[in-house]
Amino acid sequence: MTKQKIVKSVSHKTPEPQKASEDALACLPVSFATRGVRTPFTTKTLRYARVAIGKSGRSMIMLPGLAGGLGTYELPLDTLRDVFDLSVHDRMLFDRLLELENIRPGTVLEHARAVAVTGVGGVELARTAIERDAYEKSSRELGQLAVLHQALLQLGGSAVQDMQREELMTMEGQVRARKALNRFASEHKVANDTIIDSLGEWSKMIAPVGLELDGCQGALRVLTRSLRKFATDIEEWANSEQSDFRFMAGRVSSATKATYKHALLCVEEVDSWNGELGKVLTDWEGAKQNIGKTIEKLWWLLDGWQEMIDLWQKRPVTDRAKQREIIEEVASFTPVLPIEEITKDEQQFWVDIRVNQMLWAGELRKLGSGEIDADMVDRLERFRRQSA
């Protein structure tokens, strides 16, 4: 691809001021797909970048990742290496992303983890990825057992009410369980194996959310819960701040709470199916689609939040000035919800967050901690000028 072609496809989407006032909603991404998936590049200039499938079906990268919409640079993903000096970690991630046909938070995370565990991005990144992978693996395995146990208690009748979850790990326990479930299958005219298969499929499917039981909570459930604590922490922190930071932190806290509410609805929906296993298993194909949709929505809703929480968690304990810088960064890059996912009543709230974000991101640039952003804009502009 020639540089000219690349430049044509680089669009700087900041509209004229009068256009923004005409349609305030223009500053919000339309859908999750247009908001894109947060991609954990380590190259400083690519912080908070998002990857999405563009209108033409081509993978695009959005910078500086301000959740799509206003003030975001967009360029085809495959041109990324022509514009930026990528870190070795990012080169590996980039190679994988280019191959991805389906850009979703779950798949991007999977690839990002696969790169991180190699250690190419440093020991800390590798360690976090390994720990999270291990936790998810164990919650998935324990969750599968718990799902089977739950199914037994709900559907297996009085004969298996005394069974403990641990017994399912023994051969004898499995035989007992199978017998009990066979009874349910024949009563509801479903093939025996189908019930077992569906249960297996079910437990795998809900693994990212998991169950509300100790050790069985999936990553998305944990993250949803972390959102609530994050909002409270930030609110508490802001109490002693001056008005500007209180305002900024207040917006972060409200945005977090608003996202939490949406996420909680999804988690509750998954849990409500858990309570009606019989219904789900007798029409597994139908239920599968609905559950899949809800979990996918939850992935998108929470995309980008883990980084915000991690950033806050790593704050220095006493250095207030540094803590403020972190709040500024979190405020500037808090993921906004797209128009499709919010009600009319919520629109003004998110527009307000988004408009303020642009001011804060500007401040971040001015104050030096965001010099990288200025550098990035400079590179993009230079690239465009050179190729014109």
Partner 1 sequence: MKVEDAGKLGVSQLGQLFESLSGSEIARFTRAIESDRVDPKLPLPHEAILQILRPRLASLKPERYPTPMRQFCDPFEDLLTSAEPSDKSIRISRSSLMPIWGVVTGVNDPHFSEAMKEIEAAAAVRDSAKLAIAESKLWKAGARIIEDQIARSQEGVKEERALATRLGSRIHLKAFGEVGRILNVGEEIGQVRARFPSAPIRGLDGNDVTWLRDRFVEISQSKPGFEPMFLLAVLARLLRPSELFKLIRVLSNKADDRTIEKTNLAETGDLIIDLLAETVSEIEQGVGTGKDEAHILSLARWYASEFTRITREFKIRKDGRWGEKLLETRRRVSRALADTMFGATPERVIDALPKMEVRQGPGSGAKGLARPLFSQDFDYEKVLAAEKSAEAIAETARISDVLAAQSSAAKAVVELKKKLNQIGRAGVDGMGRLAPEEIPNAQRNLMATVRLLEIVDGPEDADVLRRRGMSAIRALTSQKAS
Nearer to partner 1 by C-beta: 58 or 320? 320
Q: Does the footprint of partner 1 cover residue 87 (CB under 8 A)?
A: yes
Q: How many CA atoms lie within 13 Å of 47's alpha carbon, on the beta-carbon side?
A: 20
Taking CB under 8 A as the criterion, the residue among 22, 23, 124, 201 binding partner 1 is 124
Task: Point out which residues pair with 61 in neighbouring strands.
Answer: 51, 75
Distance from C-alpha of 241 to C-alpha of 248, rounded to nearest angstrom? 10
Taking CB under 8 A as the criterion, the residue among 31, 320, 340, 381 binding partner 1 is 320
String of contacts with partner 1 for each residue 245-274, x by CB under 8 A: x-----------------------------
Stretch in the footprint of partner 1 (CB under 8 A) among 65-73, 257-265, 314-322, 332-340? 314-322
Taking CB under 8 A as the criterion, the residue among 9, 14, 33, 119 binding partner 1 is 119
Taking CB under 8 A as the criterion, the residue among 235, 271, 296, 307 binding partner 1 is 235
Structural element, H or E, at residue 74? strand 73-76
Q: Which of 298, 311, 301 is nearest to 234 (CA)?
A: 311
Taking CB under 8 A as the criterion, the residue among 4, 31, 118, 170 binding partner 1 is 118
Stretch in the footprint of partner 1 (CB under 8 A) among 99-107, 116-124, 152-160, 206-214? 116-124
Taking CB under 8 A as the criterion, the residue among 2, 158, 242, 272 binding partner 1 is 242
The strands making up 37-38's β-sheet, listed across from edge to edge, are: 11-12, 73-76, 59-63, 50-53, 37-38
Mention every residue, 6+ apart, whose C-beta is less than 8 A from residue 58: 76, 77, 78
Stretch in the footprint of partner 1 (CB under 8 A) among 23-31, 113-121, 301-309, 369-377? 113-121
Q: Does the footprint of partner 1 cover residue 324 (CB under 8 A)?
A: yes
**Residue matched to tokens 């609530």:** 228
Q: Does the footprint of partner 1 cover residue 99 (CB under 8 A)?
A: no
Q: Does the footprint of partner 1 cover residue 44 (CB under 8 A)?
A: no
Nearer to partner 1 by C-beta: 128 or 192? 128
Q: How far apart are the first and last CA of the chain?
A: 14
Read off the DSSP letter of residue 122. -
Q: Which of 137, 170, 163 is nearest to 149 (CA)?
A: 163
Nearer to partner 1 by C-beta: 245 or 299? 245
Distance from C-alpha of 109 to C-alpha of 158, rounded to nearest angstrom? 43
Q: Does the footprint of partner 1 cover residue 321 (CB under 8 A)?
A: yes
Mention every residue, 6+ apart, whose C-beta is less than 8 A from residue 286: none
Is residue 303 classed exposed, middle or buried when 0-12, 13-18 and 19+ CB atoms within 10 A define those classes?
A: buried
Q: Which of 240, 301, 344 is nearest to 104 (CA)?
A: 301
Nearer to partner 1 by C-beta: 19 or 320? 320
What's the closest the beta carbon of residue 370 comes to partner 1, in angstroms?
14
- One-letter amino acid for residue 266 of the chain: C
What's the closest the beta carbon of residue 321 comes to partner 1, in angstroms?
5
What's the closest the beta carbon of residue 241 comes to partner 1, in angstroms?
6
Taking CB under 8 A as the criterion, the residue among 19, 44, 127, 261 binding partner 1 is 127
Distance from C-alpha of 205 to C-alpha of 208, rounded to nearest angstrom? 7
Give contact residues for partner 1 (rule: CB under 8 A).
85-88, 91-92, 118-124, 127, 232, 235-237, 239-242, 245, 317-318, 320-321, 324, 367
